[in-house]
Structure 1
Amino acid sequence: MLDAVAGLPDEDFAQPSGCTGWLVRDLVCHLVIDAQDVLITLATPADEPVTADAPGYWELLTEPPSGDDPLDALIPRLAAAYGEPRWLKHHIDDVGSAAVRAAGLADPAARVRTQDKVLTVADYLTAYVLEGSLHHLDLVAHLPAAPQPPADTLAVARTALEAVAGAAFPASLRDADALRIGTGRRAPTPAQTAELGDLAARLPLRLG
């Protein structure tokens, strides 16, 4: 995703993203905060027993985000404060690259604390693969020329979402479609609803 952001022309930052109410620049600003969260969590070891696995990291919301959350409302103001897109590009590359390096150096079996939960590093990073893949799809939702998420990353993210759902999505659904439909980013067609069967009634999974 860092390469995708780096390659965006300046005018794309003013286009809508796949996150309702956010422009691409707002989403990229959110990604900066996500990368900071990764660094903070990997630097917050825990001695207590594990309390959550990768699926348990997520809280399932009953309603979509309204934009009233203070942090959600702050993001567009922070993004606007960057001014030129090049400064946002610089910051996400700087912090995001550091987060990737830290993830690669971390012991997968080590325990970390975040959001009042204790997880192994492996489970925490699995949850963040899902987070990052969904936001990559959000980034390119209205930018057909921008690079899509890598196929292997989408496959891992799909498996992670299926673990949250407790059920597999139909094999006929492409990974990107399973992720979008599963999280409410796109409505299924009537045929896809039929294929989803009982799972359709439990969708979308609003991850918080």
Structure 2
Amino acid sequence: MDLFSRTWAALRAAVAGLPDEDFARPSGCAGWLVRDLVCHLVVDAQDVLITLATPARTEPTRDAVTYWDVTGTPPAGDDPLDALTVRLAAAYEDPRLLKFHLDDVGSAAGRAAGLADPGALVGTRDEVLTVGDYLTAYVLEWTLHHLDLIAHLPDVPPPPAEGPARSREMLERIAGTAFPSSFSDKDALLVGTGRRAPDDAERAELGETAARLPFVLG
């Protein structure tokens, strides 16, 4: 619960500190500008609010790791929801409006998470999780998108170190294998999720795991 709050607050603070011109720069999400990514974060915050307000009465069907559906195919950008995100982001025109909306909805999502009972059951995507598992799953979401945000913005503060460390642990459990110890947490996440291709030395260290990359999370 605390790590959810820290990673989410750090990501929102990073967005809040961006100059207007950075919203037109590319992000680490293929085909998305920074403004598109920030618009996606607004939708994420809405999802958190909706899920925390959707109690469930059956036993959990997923946990923080199995929450994620995994494919080996990176998004092509032609998904209808992805296309809607791009159009919606462009409609903001003034980056300050997008910042305001993320701060408004994002702050509410953060407060709702802080007030929630971690043992309570909630429903999302036709699955049931404890609040604690749901918010833990989102640590991975916030961390990956923080790395996407700063992919071409080296002066923007990175996510807090415990975010990538915990996210790497989750990705390794999702993948069913550990990444080489020589990989930093950041590199394990970028290479593991297909945000960066491994170089020859990394591919050699990965061994058989290299043929299974990427682990695309959805």
TM-score, structure 1 as length reference: 0.97
State how far apart, in whole Å, the 2-side matches of 1:111 and 1:192 are. Answer: 41
Mapping of residues 86-105 of structure 1, within 5 Å = 86-105=96-115
1:178 to 159, 163, 188: 188
- Long gaps (5+) in structure 2: 1-10
Map of 1:148 onto structure 2? 158
Contact 1:41-1:112 at 8 Å conserved across structures: yes
Query: What one-letter code is carried by the residue in structure 1 that aligns with 2:106?
Result: G
| Count of residue pairs the alignment pairs up | 208
RMSD (Å) for aligned C-alpha atoms? 1.0
Q: Does 1:191 align with 2:201?
A: yes
Deviations 1:72-93 (A, max 9, x none): 0011111111111001011111
- SS of 2:128's partner is strand
Map of 1:66 onto structure 2? 76
Q: Does 1:124 align with 2:134?
A: yes
1:109 to 108, 119, 141: 119
State how far apart, in whole Å, the 2-side matches of 1:9 and 1:105 are. Answer: 32
State how far apart, in whole Å, the 2-side matches of 1:197 and 1:66 are. Answer: 27
Contact 1:15-1:24 at 8 Å conserved across structures: yes
Instruction: Give structure 1 regions of 4+ aligned residues with deviation exceeding 3 angstroms.
Output: none
Residue identity (%)? 70
- Long gaps (5+) in structure 1: none
- How far residue 61 of structure 1 moved from its aligned partner, in angstroms, is 2.1
Contact 1:39-1:99 at 8 Å conserved across structures: yes
Deviates more, 1:102-111 or 1:13-22: 102-111
- SS of 1:126's partner is helix
Query: What one-letter code is carried by the residue in structure 1 that aligns with 2:176?
Result: G
- SS of 1:172's partner is coil
Mapping of residues 37-48 of structure 1, within 5 Å = 37-48=47-58
State how far apart, in whole Å, the 2-side matches of 1:10 and 1:85 are. Answer: 6
Larger relative CO (CA 8 A, sep 6+): 1 or 2?
Answer: 2
- SS of 1:76's partner is helix
TM-score, structure 2 as length reference: 0.92
- How far residue 197 of structure 1 moved from its aligned partner, in angstroms, is 2.2
